[in-house]
Structure 1
Amino acid sequence: MFWAALFDFFCIPFIVFISFMIILSAVNKSVGVRRAYVKLLLKIFEFGRLSIESAAKERQKLVGDTIFNNSQERKLDEINLSFCKKTGRTIPTTNGNTLISRDSVLLPTSNEPAASDIESPPKDEEMRFNLEKCLDYIKAGVESIIEDEVTSRFEAEELKSWNLLTRTNRHYEFISWKITLIWMTGFAVRYFILMPLRVFVCFVGVYVAVVANSLVAMIPFEFLRHPCADLSFKITFRIMTRSLSAVITFHNTEYKPKGSGFCVANHTSPLDVAILSTDCTFSLIGQRHGGFLGLLQRALARASPHIWFERGEARDRHAVAERLKQHVSNPNNPPILIFPEGTCINNTSVMQFKKGSFEVGGVIYPVAIKYDPRFGDAFWNSSKYSMMQYLYMMMTSWAIVCDVWYLPPMYRQEGESAIDFANRVKSVIAKQGGLVDLVWDGQLKRMKPKKEWRELQQVEFAKRLKGD
């Protein structure tokens, strides 16, 4: 009797909630709970920001008073020091150290040449290069040491204000008892309420993907199988994004990809696929995986055309290009979703696009994705975190909030190279998403610069030295 009552009290409402969520995902509707949740988070963040600023002002005031008191103490110390020197007494010390301590400064020894050793300067016609040409390289080198334009794109994006989530060494959570209470409450909500619920909803999404796509694959009529595959594809990813409390805003939906071709987007996270797939059906391309991703790949491939490569086959550019051409040549196939950067960038910039998908031909549908880092860092640093670690971090974040812009379709112009076309598409995406347009290859995250690049830099450096 007790267990039956417990089941009625907990399980039945939960089953109704999951069923209701699946129905909303199928019709692509929302009751506004997630957006209200995001608005509440913004108010909490604003309260935290004001509390941190007021605490910082009080600290500055305290430091100012301390400086004033220290200045008075220094004047007394100077008087005592002068008195000790005049009377010959011992200079007082503090905690065994000298009263006035300074960092030792190492100065270079003077090795100035004699006048007879100085040779007369060479004539202008004897000068083969201008030494000032090197200063630009020195300046660039120092700037790279201070802030490297490449490696900084593979670290978490810096936030202007604390979101009660980012791990810092400033201990913002202990500024006041109110902030501490909010931080502890948020920790409990994220780890003990949201995380278990999100994990369960994610598994529901995978289960729906396996069952729905298996049923769609059994439909014998092609005219009926295509719309059913389209619906099952979208429902799968809508449920998965709901497991992360995702709030997605789509702009310029009139430019949504239609028909075969390539949908090209900047790449921040594996979640990019799920976010874009909630609004449009795509054919996915990638390497075959095992485990969780492999299960999802096999489920999706049952009902719709996707391109999965074996590890060795994916390195064969000609084989990849041939399969892409075969896919886009069929007007009934959905557009292929491609991330030409080839790696995840930290939501601040767009790096070099690989030219492969731009050589095949066909229409290109550019898409810009921009995440709001205040609610969670969507960037996946694959060299630091595994896929399971990344999913764990996403499940314990506040939410995933992002904007998606569909851009007008683009075509390769006559006489335009694939590289120029890729750069043109990249600049359009960067401008729309408010991202920095960089020329560097994202694969520098994992490997050294190519030999050809170093040789080009050496040739350019030699030309400058010669004054060409």
Structure 2
Amino acid sequence: MLNALLSIYIGWLLGLVLTTVLLIIFGYDWGPLPHLYVKLVKFVQNFYPHNYPQTHTSWPAIIKQCDTSLLRKHRDDSLSSFYFSETPMLNVFDVCSDAFKAGFEAIIQDQLSVAFDSAPPFYSTLLEHPGRLPFLDTKHRISRRHIFGYFVALLFRYGVLLPIRLSLMFVSFIFSTTAIVAEYFMDMTDEQKLRVGIMNCRLFCAGIGLVAKYHNRQYRPKHPGIAVANHLSPNDIQAIYADIDPNNGYGFTVTGQRQTGLICFIETIAEKLIPTLWVERRSATDRKRFMD
């Protein structure tokens, strides 16, 4: 009985992985299903308490605020005003250390994080046991249904999402390696390289669980134009490259600083499949070649 269930489970996962790979290879996708999945996750999370701090101040950012503390802050009053939690104090040292830590959090501020919203805490995204709240006397109470939802989400993440995403990441690695070996022994055309690059980027994005919605596609650069954006990671580039229409016959030229180590290896792989232009900024020759 156990072997039969295990066989069904593995076969189901393999079916999902192979179907996803075939859809990507033939230029299709799952349609609205990934976006419906995101909506379902948001719907489930609405049943859990929202613990975002409420503030109307123009300067609410702290470098890194600790979620667990015996002090609670008057967010609507002042960034430097605190009152003690109603939980009985067990150790004077904990109170002193929390006050010391809160003082540093109130003093050390930056000029960047004020432009962004803080990420939701783990206990409101089902990524952490929901019984762990920052204040024991908080007005929110976690019910058994919340605990049940957490364990269901835990089984789904590690029993379904994790093996599927690892498999897709492995397939994307094998796909890119095979394409590089094939390009070494035979000269691939630019159109073939473009299609291989797009398929590899889409496999990678599927492996990391990316659900993207692309806007204003009419403003994409036209051939032979070039788009340059600073401080993009390889993941960002693959997400942008995955949206290229292979029927156009051209993609993006990836530019960047020539690096060493692992990044140099990734750059070497990339230049085998897609148009690249790596620049050593200290070299006048490279800078002139880039401008030309």
- TM superposition score normalised by structure 1: 0.40
Per-residue deviation, residues 327-375 of structure 1 (Å, max 9, x unmatched): xxxxxxxxxxxxxxxxxxxxxxxxxxxxxxxxxxxxxxxxxxxxxxxxx
Per-residue deviation, residues 44-66 of structure 1 (Å, max 9, x unmatched): 1111147x79xxxxxxxxxxxxx
- Contact between 2:180 and 2:272, CA under 8 Å: does it hold in 1? yes
Residue 19 of structure 2 corresponds to 20
Cα RMSD of the aligned pairs, angstroms, is 3.9
Identify if the C-alpha distance between structure 1 residues 17 and 289 changes in structure 2 by more than 3 Å, giving closer, same or farther. Answer: farther
**1:399-418 paired onto structure 2 within 5 Å:** none
**1:75-224 paired onto structure 2 within 5 Å:** 145=107, 147-150=109-112, 157-159=118-120, 162-165=124-127, 170=134, 175-216=142-183, 218-220=185-187
- Which has the higher Rg, Structure 1 or Structure 2? 1
Identify if the C-alpha distance between structure 1 residues 177 and 307 changes in structure 2 by more than 3 Å, giving closer, same or farther. Answer: same
Residue 46 of structure 2 corresponds to 46
Q: In 1, Cα distance between the equivalents of 2:275 and 2:108?
A: 47
Residue 239 of structure 1 corresponds to 203
Per-residue deviation, residues 67-94 of structure 1 (Å, max 9, x unmatched): xxxxxxxxxxxxxxxxxxxxxxxxxxxx
Q: In 2, Cα distance between the equivalents of 1:323 and 1:6?
A: 61
Percent identity of the aligned residues?
Answer: 20
SS across alignment from 1:302: helix
* Unaligned segments of structure 2, at least 5 residues: 53-105, 245-250
Quote the offset at 1:297 in angstroms.
Answer: 3.4
Quote the offset at 1:176 in angstroms.
Answer: 1.9
Are 1:321 and 2:291 counterparts?
no
Residue 223 of structure 2 corresponds to 259
Per-residue deviation, residues 297-341 of structure 1 (Å, max 9, x unmatched): 3333223332346xxxx3416344223234xxxxxxxxxxxxxxx
Identify if the C-alpha distance between structure 1 residues 278 and 25 changes in structure 2 by more than 3 Å, giving closer, same or farther. Answer: same
Q: In 2, Cα distance between the equivalents of 1:319 and 1:169?
A: 58
- Contact between 2:13 and 2:160, CA under 8 Å: does it hold in 1? no
Quote the offset at 1:210 in angstroms.
Answer: 1.6
2:160 corresponds to which letter in structure 1? I
Per-residue deviation, residues 391-417 of structure 1 (Å, max 9, x unmatched): xxxxxxxxxxxxxxxxxxxxxxxxxxx
Quote the offset at 1:199 in angstroms.
Answer: 1.7
1:230 corresponds to which letter in structure 2? L
Higher relative contact order (CA 8 A, sep 6+): 1
Q: In 1, Cα distance between the equivalents of 2:145 and 2:230?
A: 40
For these two proteins, the number of residue pairs brought into alignment is 224
Residue 88 of structure 2 corresponds to none
* Unaligned segments of structure 1, at least 5 residues: 54-143, 327-468
Per-residue deviation, residues 150-181 of structure 1 (Å, max 9, x unmatched): 3667x983449932337985279972222222
Residue 300 of structure 1 corresponds to 270
Quote the offset at 1:11 in angstroms.
Answer: 5.7
Per-residue deviation, residues 432-465 of structure 1 (Å, max 9, x unmatched): xxxxxxxxxxxxxxxxxxxxxxxxxxxxxxxxxx
Q: In 2, Cα distance between the equivalents of 1:11 and 1:185?
A: 19
Q: In 2, Cα distance between the equivalents of 1:241 and 1:296?
A: 16
Identify if the C-alpha distance between structure 1 residues 146 and 13 changes in structure 2 by more than 3 Å, giving closer, same or farther. Answer: closer
- Contact between 1:213 and 1:300, CA under 8 Å: does it hold in 2? no
Identify if the C-alpha distance between structure 1 residues 46 and 316 changes in structure 2 by more than 3 Å, giving closer, same or farther. Answer: same
- TM superposition score normalised by structure 2: 0.61
Per-residue deviation, residues 238-291 of structure 1 (Å, max 9, x unmatched): 011111221111111111122244323475754211210101332323434545
Identify if the C-alpha distance between structure 1 residues 166 and 257 changes in structure 2 by more than 3 Å, giving closer, same or farther. Answer: farther
